A and B are shown apart, each in its own frame.
Chain A
Amino acid sequence: MSPFLDALLLSAGYNAALVTVGAALLGIAAGATGTFLFLAKRALVSDAVAHATLPGVGLAFIAMVAMGGDGRSLPGLLAGSAASAWAGLLAIEWITRRTRLKEDAAIGAVLGVFFGLGVVLLTVVQTMGAGRQAGLEEFLLGATAGMLFADGVTIAAGGALALAAAWALRRPMTLVAFDRDYAAARGYDVRRVDLAMMALVMGVTVIGLKLVGLILIVALLIVPPVAARFWTERAGGVVWIAGAIGGASGYIGAAASAAAPDLPTGPIIVLVAAGIFALSLLFAPARGVAAAGARHRRFQRRVHRRQGLLALAHGDAIREPYTLRLLTREGLIRPDGVPTAAGRAQAAKVARDERRWAVARELFRDADLAGRHAGLTPIETIFTADEIAEIDRRLGGPAPAGGA
């Protein structure tokens, strides 16, 4: 069997299996919680949160060494990263609320300052005796080589916790994302809902630091919901599908990177997610680019067909080459432009429907009706047989219906 297949079947060694399962769990949690960020149109906040973890990692290491510890304890480092990410979040929230700056400016400022501070602290750590082999720079892009079973448990437990919290808060978070003012009027504390959402994202970021790294975790939070949006028109659907896409990306990406020893895990996972996004963008049934193009062509064909048939009915010449091709292909006109018997029949029907529509607009005087079906929909699909009979009765009268 190929190494990739081995890795997919979790039979490529203990560490590879651990990383693969951990990455899948992380992907599910990131996709599902990232959805709420995406729905609230605040995707970039997660980038600031991720970068704001770095000073916490450095400070936690220094603090643990100062207290006589090893400094490399993962729970300690993660707690530190969570604390500084939370400080970054509060800074963004405070700047947005207390000044006239918009959130994007606040994100830019906080992201830069915290990341810069983090890099300085890592340099300081390098100068400490205990810091040289600390490997703290692994938090930037993630590293899986030395992943322990305990790390896997941390990811699984943290991911499950984030998922459970996201499920519990799905209604307030969806409502605040869709209609903030209405949520506030209903008595929801929208600021606290925002902070809860950010806390979830922060939790996923922190548990993903070891595996994916702080620079790429944002992709795992945002790419799955963006891809999922192509497949569904419901917020709940986006959550489930984003979770599935995130999980699949984590699983496949980690297996692929395990199969070829020098491939970095985090970037491969993100590339797999990006691949799923590209497929969704192109081929999703309703919202995809291909479907939209096909819809547009169908509509264009209907317009041209009807215009051509109306021209035939009025005895006008058809000049548009596309219309000519279309009608010829359907056998409605001969190549020299003369209508066939079928073409004459169709033209007569379209012309009759046109007159019927004119009467129908008089009769029903419904704005929706007139606007929506500007003659393109066959009249039989809009009105019942007796309504059409009534229209025809008016059409057949000696004077056109306009007088009454």
Chain B
Amino acid sequence: MQPTLTVAAEDGRPVAPAAPPAEAALVLRGLTVSYGESAAVFSVDATFPAGAMSAIVGPNGAGKSTLLKAALGVVPRVSGEVTVFGTPLASARDRIAYVPQRASVDWDFPTRVRDVVEMGLYREAGLFGRLSGARARRVAQCLDRVGMADFADRQIGQLSGGQQQRVFLARALAQEAELYLLDEPFAGVDAATERAIVEVLAALRSEGRSIVAVHHDLATVRDYFDHVLLLNVRRVAEGPVATAFTAETLEAAYGGRLSTSHVGEILPAGGRA
């Protein structure tokens, strides 16, 4: 059978859904999302490698969070396709853990830290499966991994911003997924939490798991990530941090919004010609 052709590329040229390389954790082809008439994300191709930490970077309003949500099927896409470990999104749901932005939920919701982490197991436990016993121990381990074991019985509104972020991360850990998609995990958290989260993510990577994070702090991209997608509605650049995260690509993504001295701080090792 002929492979179906989908109009995907930015110039409208049809692109065959070629088999993605086996090592890709998440492949986006021609992903377009719009709110009303204007595109929030337009025809983005990206290949996030497996077993690596990848960043999605770009200015405010570049569509970073929208891209992540579209990749997860949380917001509908106008066109494009999403492939997770070589299979369509629908059959790979249980291999993906999502960490939404902290501000996206009501923290006065009647739920304790332990209950939020338990939510990571709802899918696996089904409507009636027990959450006690082995699953409760897993919840406790995940809380311990993010340093929140002592807070298990607190109502979530009593936590600091960093602690709330850790709880969300623990919920994702409880899923024991292979691909972790995080939306601004370091936004508004304290330095200790940032260190703790980086450690957990690095440990996941060393277990061979894949991480894709929307990231806002250009100064830490080189320290934390292996791979980067620079986004400003369209794809600006993508690849290993060493080659894709340069003064030229930053200039292209941010326009005049970054000063030369700022770029110099971000790229200390002669990135600026």
Contact = CB atoms under 8 A, between A and B. Distances in A.
A237 B192 contact: no
Interface in A56-74: none
Interface in A232-282: 232-235, 237-238
A368 B192 contact: yes
Given A368-B160, A368-B190, A179 B115 contact: no
B137 interface: no
Given A235-B109, A237-B110, A368-B192, A175 B119 contact: yes
B98 A169 contact: no
Size category of the B interface is: 20 to 34
Interface in B98-145: 98, 100, 104-106, 109-112, 115-116, 119, 122-123, 125, 127-128
A390 interface: no
B74 interface: yes
Nearest to B156: A233
A366 B192 contact: yes
A184 B111 contact: no
A39 B100 contact: no
A235 B72 CA distance: 27
A184 B73 contact: yes
Contacts of A179: 100, 104-105, 119
A229 B110 contact: yes
Contact of A184 (B74, B90, B105, B128): B74
A330 to B, nearest CB: 30
A181 B98 contact: yes
A187 B127 contact: no
Interface on chain A toward B: helix, strand, loop, or mixed SS? Answer: helix
Given A182-B100, A367-B191, A39 B109 contact: yes
Contacts of B119: 174-175, 178-179, 182
Interface string A162-178: 00000011011011011
B96 interface: yes
B112 A185 contact: no
A39 B110 contact: yes
Given A184-B72, A366-B192, A233 B110 contact: yes
B205 interface: no
A178 B93 contact: no
Interface string A138-180: 0000000000000000000000000000001101101101110
Interface string A336-367: 00000000000000000000000000000011
B6 interface: no
A367 B160 CA distance: 11
A250 B16 CA distance: 64
A70 to B, nearest CB: 41
A168 B125 CA distance: 13
Contacts of A298: none
B127 A185 contact: no
Interface string B178-211: 0001000000001110000000000000000000
Given A182-B100, A367-B192, A234 B74 contact: no
Contact of A171 (B72, B111, B116, B127): B127
A234 B160 contact: no
A233 B122 contact: no
A393 interface: no
A366 B163 CA distance: 14
B69 interface: yes
A169 B122 CA distance: 11
Size category of the A interface is: 20 to 34
A181 B100 contact: yes
A186 interface: yes
B98 A233 contact: no
Nearest to B153: A233
A232 B110 contact: yes
B155 interface: yes
A229 B157 CA distance: 14
Most B C-beta atoms less than 10 A away, residue of A184, A185, A235: A185
Contacts of B125: 171
Given A178-B105, A233-B155, A185 B111 contact: no
Interface string A366-404: 111001000000000000000000000000000000000
Contacts of A229: 110
Contact of B127 (A168, A182, A234, A238): A168
Contacts of A371: 160
Contacts of A181: 69, 74, 98, 100, 104
B98 A182 contact: yes
A178 B167 CA distance: 14
B123 A186 contact: yes
Contacts of A233: 110-112, 155
A299 to B, nearest CB: 15
Contact of A185 (B98, B110, B155, B191): B98
B109 A172 contact: no
Interface in B67-107: 69, 72-74, 90, 93-94, 96, 98, 100, 104-106
A178 B111 contact: yes
21 contacts: A168-B127, A178-B105, A178-B109, A178-B111, A178-B119, A179-B100, A179-B104, A181-B69, A181-B98, A182-B100, A185-B69, A185-B72, A185-B74, A187-B93, A188-B123, A233-B110, A234-B112, A235-B115, A238-B110, A366-B192, A367-B191
The 10 closest A-B pairs by CB, nearest first: A185-B98, A233-B155, A187-B93, A185-B72, A367-B190, A184-B74, A171-B122, A181-B74, A179-B105, A181-B100
Interface of A: 39, 41, 168-169, 171-172, 174-175, 177-179, 181-182, 184-188, 229, 232-235, 237-238, 366-368, 371
Given A178-B106, A233-B111, A368-B190, 14 more contacts: A169-B127, A174-B119, A177-B109, A179-B104, A179-B105, A179-B119, A181-B74, A185-B72, A186-B122, A187-B94, A188-B123, A237-B110, A238-B110, A367-B191
